[in-house]
Structure 1
Amino acid sequence: MYEEAAAPAALRGVARCVWRSASEGPKRIVPDGCVDLVAGDGGVFVAGPDTAAWSSVTTPGAVLSGVRFRPGRAAAVLGVAADELRDQRVPLAELWGRSVAERLAEGELSPVEAVAGRLADLPPPDSAVAELIARLEAGVARVGEAAAAMGARPEAVWVGEATSLRLEAGAARVAEAESAAVSERRLRRRFVQAVGYGPATYLRISRFQRAVALAPRVAGLAALAAAAGYADQAHLSRDCRALTGLTPRRYFRGSSTVDVAERDRLRSA
């Protein structure tokens, strides 16, 4: 059983959804660019942003509940940079103290209530990071495309590739491009701290998420690769193996994993 619902109005600026899950066996969790606060089965932990699949194993009959944060917003709520949580399952007591963690574990406090209690002094989202996330999720083929589209504001571009674009576009001086590169590096640091990894990794993961969402409606791996924005089927195959540990034929077959169907989205725990 896996049930997902829209986040309550008070949490919609920081949470993508809330969920409940019960599983009779191990469940494959694949990267989705998000961080989750998870409570149940006698524990409370934060599941950091993943770069590869992991297996969630719970006591038979145990029910987990959680809040899935919007990409880029977990760090502010949790009080720790997202890259420090990358590929980690961190007990909440290490972040918020034993009192809150114990109340969550005992059912006195829900994950939604715990997150809501942290919002009063929450800083606003980083607008440049948020815009870059949105552009990467919009289906660009390369990070440079998103950076070029943000070129009107020097602070809101991606390092390296975007600097080359500036020079090719006729930057008046090398110093001008170098100055832009400083802002680009600063943005990259902010992106990594907010999301957990760099824009190139986030683009790879969001593209795979798109393939998973499209899979129930698209017949054939070649067509799925094209619809999701991959260069070709081989490109999809490489990313699928890297992110899930399975070939596309096994992963998208449905019976091989519980998180392919739309009702069982990525990272259901």
Structure 2
Amino acid sequence: MGEGSLLPTSNGIHTHLLPVEGALREHVRALVAVEVERGGPIPLAIAPHDSVMLSVQFGRGADCIENKSEHGQNTHVTGIRRWTGSFAGAGDCVSLFAALTPLGAMHLLDSQPLETVPRIRARMADLLDRRLTRELESEVALADGLDAKLRALAKWLEERACLQRCQAPAALRAGRAAMQLCAEPNVPIEALAQRQHVGRRQLERDFARYVGTSPRHLAQVARLQGVARKGQRGAALADIAADLGYADQAHMSRTVRQMTGLTPLQFVRTQRTPIAAAFRAATGGGAVYL
């Protein structure tokens, strides 16, 4: 792994980024660590984004592994969201995040269907053998400092990514199509299905079962993140709307407001917390936390 990036501390919140390299590039979009020194509640909002989020969270005190939950139960998965949600963070904790690509989620979660998994903080021990999450949490907890903890998570993910094991063909089909859709949100669903050598209805069923959402919704989310990234690079809103396939700027504004409650300009500029800024930096301008 290359050099990590420790971002400026603000309001007792430390953030650290690690570049995604090697075998992880196809599986992980971003690696972010956050340490919150103060107690909650901390108001946070999370936007729809085109990653399945794997997170590990500990307390900061003694017995940190079981400070928040039982050993093996501190690792969670959050699926593709439908709209922006708000919640109050507990604070006084260390949280590690790996933003998994759709194909990465299929590989790293052993083709587990996400259809019935809660989109918000599902326990990974309910998807995989709890021995795996206990092993991960032990390695992360024993590492000293945010950089070392994030490297321990990256190492665990890389080992799973390189492990040869059988995967469900339908899961891989959905993962590959989802990757294409994230890169080309305007591609017709029929074209995606043709590339995977199945019919449209079969691909939609695969998406529902393994990605936990529809191709149409994932395309909306990918375009939404395109607004954030292009806007962060200084593109004009009218140009962004045209580039991303919206009918016009008004159509883009309605869609962004429906999904986030914000205007496109507010959505591009919102960066109220160090956590939001860290994810902007880690995802090339994408908006995860607001």
TM-score, L = length of structure 2: 0.67
Stretch deviating more after TM superposition (186-195 or 54-63): 54-63
Contact kept in structure 1, 2:193 and 2:200, CA below 8 Å: no
Q: How far has the Cα of 1:22 moved from its partner?
A: 3.8
Aligned pair partner of 1:62 in 93, 101, 118: 93
The residue aligned with 2:281 is 263
SS at match of 1:13: coil
One-letter amino acid matched to 2:18? A
Q: Which position in structure 2 is the counterpart of 1:112?
A: 154
Which position in structure 1 is the counterpart of 2:255? Answer: 239
8 A Cα contact 1:139 1:229, kept in partner: no
> Which residue of structure 2 aligns with residue 215 of structure 1?
231
Counterpart residue identity of residue 17, structure 1: A
Pick the aligned partner of 1:155 from 197, 215, 218: 197
Question: Is contact 1:72–1:191 with CA below 8 Å preserved after alignment?
Answer: no
Counterpart of 2:244? 228
Q: 1:90 to 1:127 in 2, by over 3 A?
A: closer
Gaps of 5+ in 2: 1-13, 59-67, 69-73, 144-151
1:20-39 to 2 correspondences below 5 Å: 20-22=33-35, 25-39=42-56
Deviations 1:35-55 (A, max 9, x none): 121112333211122112223
Which residue, 89, 95, 102 being the options, matches 2:127? 95
Count matched residues. Answer: 240
Residue 55 and residue 113 in structure 1: after superposition, are their counterparts in 2 closer, same or farther (change >3 A)?
farther
Note the C-alpha offset of 1:64. 1.3
SS at match of 2:102: coil
1:162 corresponding residue in structure 2: none
Residue of structure 2 equivalent to 1:84: 116
| Residues 109 and 127, structure 2, Cα contact 8 Å, conserved in 1 | yes
Contact 1:35 1:71 (8 Å CA) reproduced: yes
Structure 1 residues 68 and 140, CA gap change in structure 2 (3 angstroms): closer
Alignment check: 8 A CA contact 2:190 2:200 kept: no
Give the match for residue 71 of structure 1: 102
Deviations 1:174-228 (A, max 9, x none): xxxxxxxxx3322222233332211111111101111100112335533432233
Q: d(CA) in 2 for partners of 1:12 and 1:214?
A: 21
In structure 1, what is the Cα distance between the partners aligned to 2:87 and 2:75? 14
- How high is the TM-score relative to the length of structure 1? 0.72
Partner of 1:53: 84
Q: Report the Cα distance in structure 2 between the residues aligned to 1:235 and 1:267, rounded to whole angstroms.
A: 22
SS in 2 for 1:83: coil
Q: Which has the higher strand share?
A: 2
Equivalence for 1:137: 182
Residues 50 and 225, structure 2, Cα contact 8 Å, conserved in 1:
no
Larger Rg: 1
Q: Which moved more, 1:106-115 or 1:89-98?
A: 106-115
Aligned-residue Cα RMSD (Å) equals: 3.3
Alignment of 1:8-23 (within 5 A): 8-22=21-35
SS of corresponding position for 1:27: strand
SS class of match (2:54): strand
